[in-house]
Amino acid sequence: MLTVLLRTLLIYLLLIASLRLIGKRQIGELQLSELITTLLLSELAVAPISDLQLPMSRAVLPIITILILEISVSFCTSRLPWLRKLLYGAPSILIHKGKLNMKEMLHLRMDISELISELRLKDIADIADVRCAILEDNGKLSVFQNAKGVEYGISLPVLVHGQYMTKAMRFAGVNKKWITQWLERHKLNRRDVLLLSVDERRRAVYILKDSPDGAIVEEK
């Protein structure tokens, strides 16, 4: 009995430390790799508790390995947008300027009734009241209503870590030429830009990588 209690305590503390290192996310906000990591950790943790013949190393070493892999993946995806898109996918714009994006709906195999159901859960009775709806890469739906829309419309990230976000560029109505001209006009190098977002009126907001305080610069 004492052996079981000690093993349970050790695995419990190890799992708490592991999940703390992964990050502070709610269950509904877990990325795919984080969900897989959580499932694997739970399976690995049960084995040495239920089977006392198994050495603790059979659980501890795999848990540490998975934890290192998850932290490494999170570190890389935070700096490489193309890798994040490959592993987690990208946000999908389902409604833009009040128009339903049927092509994206078909790509996601999402039915219109499912979208309407999600809108009702957000206390939106009429799809006509929606200015923009975005299915985030964590599976949650972000909705902006016409009555609550900002003055300049929805701002979309067209440049992240110096890399072009082609889908966002298409909806923002800009292309690589426009971005290049904008960078030249502001005497900026694309690789120096951490984030450049553009709204529906081509009003830009950007953050530079070497900005010591992460200052957001808004174009007037």
Q: Which residue has the higher pLDDT, 38 or 148?
A: 38
Q: What is the pLDDT of residues 104-116, one digit of tens each?
A: 888 888 888 788 8
Nearest-CA neighbor of 116 among 107, 108, 125?
Answer: 125
pLDDT of res. 181: 92
State the pTM of this model.
0.58
pLDDT of res. 26: 45
Q: What is the mean pLDDT of residues 122-140?
A: 81
Q: What is the pLDDT of residues 154-189, one digit of tens each?
A: 788 899 888 898 888 888 889 999 999 999 988 889
